[in-house]
Structures are given as structure tokens and as C-alpha cells.
Amino acid sequence: MSVAMPMNAKYRKTIIAGNWKMNLSPRDAREFIRELKPLAVQAKWCDIVLCVPYLQIPEAVRTARGSRIAIGAQNCHQETAGAYTGEISAPMLVEAGVKYVIVGHSERRRDFGETDSLVNRKVLSALKAGLRPIVCVGETLEMRDNDITLDVVRMQVKTALRGVTREELRRGTIAYEPGWAIGTGYTATAKQANEVSAVIRAALRTVYGAQGARGVSILYGGSMNTGNARDLLAQPDVDGGLIGGASMRTESFGKIIEAANQNVPQK
């Protein structure tokens, strides 16, 4: 009996991405990836990405070689080179074997003053270098309370992608991450996550048309864990997760990868 393939499985990839933030050592990265590799072999239903701190990148890339685990960075500079002490550029990440980069994470917006237009410059730089940007958008609690979430997110998406061509968009991923849910233990309900993701897709549609928009994976991030992942990942406009806390242990990260399996058509 054939089962109808869900929209998201047909047009776009499911992506489960971990964000270790400023945690774990190069040795931890090696052990983590070694443990995750057997699961990654089976988990053909999703792309697996680990966004590790810069220093862990060489060890992570070496250990993940030959597996389905792609290594990502958590940020990049908007310029390719120059007098920017302490910064890392997108071409440097590519040379180190990085495939993905998180851009505009709410912690960078909040703690490092990253604006929508800076995020846009970083997105353009990442794309030009050949990276796959994971562009984070999302509202603060105050914005949600003031009922401006959808407007804010629409604006963040449009500004972040200014100048991005339809061809380049195919390498882009959006992560909807409500700031109030990140690292707090509070999670958006599946309905809230899907509502905002659908609005993001509609915003993409106005710029890139229906075909361009339906190919973009939209992830949810914000205290996703083994208990809520199934419900969140079952939403039609949620194509995966960007996971902080629960991505730092193979057991919980592995269970979230398993939860993404439900979007695969069962024979």
C-alpha cells in the first residue's frame, strides 16, 4: 500500500542540527561524533549537522569524515579577510571543511548587537563562500506579548535574505527560534511553531515564488528535547530542528534524530 508522501518530505530536506554554543572540547567532539556515526548511517531520513565552536572544527571534521554528519560553525564574519581581530571569515570555514553556518542566532543578536542588516551581510558572505547558512529569526517575549511576532519575523526574513538569488536560496535554511524559548526550558507549542513557520514560508513565497519557497527547510529551535520533538517535527511547515542543550549528549540528540523519522513515508 502506498502512503502519501508529506509535503515537506517531497520538496525539502529534514535537517536536525545541533548547536553546542560555547561547550564541549575537541576531545568531546571526537567522542561524540564516534558515538553518533552508527546512528547517522541508518538515519537516511534527515541531514545531520553539528555546529561546534571554532576550535573544535578540525577535530570534528576529521572524525566525521566519510559519515553523513556535516560540520557547521556558529557564526562567521561578513568580510572575507582584513583587520578584524578575533573574527573568522566564511572562506576560512570552507577551507576547514565546514558546510553549514548559523547566522543571526538570537544570542548574537542579543549579546553582540547583531542587526538584521548585519545578518544579511553575513548571509551573503556565507553563500558567496559556498556555505549553507542557517538563518535564525524569532521574536522576544516582549514582541510576542505585543502581538507583533509575525510582522517581526516577516521583516527579519526579508532583510536577512536581501540580495539572495533564487538559486542561492536553495542552499539556505531558516531556523525559527523564539528568543524566549532558547535555553529556557519553555518551548513554543507545535501550533505556534507551525504558525510562524508557515508565515516565514509565505514571506519567502512573495519574493521567490511558490517553487522557490517550498524547497526551503524551516527548522524550529527553542528547548526542543526528546519529549517534544515528535510533536514539533510532525508539523507540516517544520522541517527539522536547531537544538542547543539536547544536542550535547548523543543519547538525546540521537532520539531527536529518530523522532524525525516519522516524516518519512512508511512502506
CB of 177 to ligand PEP, least distance (A): 5
By CB under 6 A, which span of 140-148, 189-197, 215-223, 231-239 interacts with ligand PEP?
215-223
CB of 34 to ligand PEP, least distance (A): 23
Residue with the shortest CB distance to ligand PEP = 244
CB distance 139 to 147 below 8 Å = no
String of DSSP letters for 212-245: HHHT-EEEEESS--TTTHHHHHTSTT--EEEESG
177 binds ligand PEP (CB under 6 A): yes
CB distance 127 to 171 below 8 Å = yes
By CB under 6 A, which span of 5-13, 112-120, 210-218, 219-227 interacts with ligand PEP?
219-227
51 binds ligand PEP (CB under 6 A): no
Our CB check for ligand PEP shows the closer of 134 and 152 to be 134
Site string for ligand PEP, 136-175 (x = CB under 6 A): ----------------------------------------
Please, where are the H alpha helices in the chain? Answer: 7-11, 26-42, 57-64, 90-95, 106-112, 116-129, 141-145, 149-160, 166-169, 190-214, 229-233, 250-259
Tell me, rounded to whole angstroms, the distance of Cα 79 from its chain centroid: 22
38 binds ligand PEP (CB under 6 A): no
193 binds ligand PEP (CB under 6 A): no
Could you give the CA distance from residue 64 to residue 217 in angstroms, rounded to a whole number?
A: 23
Our CB check for ligand PEP shows the closer of 156 and 208 to be 156
Task: Dig out the grid coordinates for 225 from the structure.
Answer: 528535547
Could you give the CA distance from residue 178 to residue 149 in angstroms, rounded to a whole number?
A: 9
How many residues bind ligand PEP, per CB under 6 A?
14
196 binds ligand PEP (CB under 6 A): no
CB of 124 to ligand PEP, least distance (A): 22
The residues annotated with a catalytic role in the active site are: 105, 177
Could you give the CA distance from residue 71 to residue 57 in angstroms, rounded to a whole number?
A: 7
* Single-letter code of the amino acid located at 93: L
By CB under 6 A, which span of 32-40, 88-96, 192-200, 220-228 interacts with ligand PEP?
220-228
By CB under 6 A, which span of 34-42, 144-152, 210-218, 221-229 interacts with ligand PEP?
221-229
- Within a 10 A sphere around the Cβ of 165, how many other Cβ atoms? 11
Euclidean distance between the first and the last CA atom of the chain, given in angstroms as a whole number: 7
CB of 55 to ligand PEP, least distance (A): 18
Strand partners, 219: 175
Q: 8, 14, 19, 192: which one contacts ligand PEP (CB under 6 A)?
A: 19
80-to-42, 101, 159, 195, 257 alpha-carbon distances in Å: 37, 15, 21, 36, 34
CB of 33 to ligand PEP, least distance (A): 19
Name the residues that contact ligand PEP, by CB under 6 A.
19, 21, 177, 182-183, 221-224, 242-246
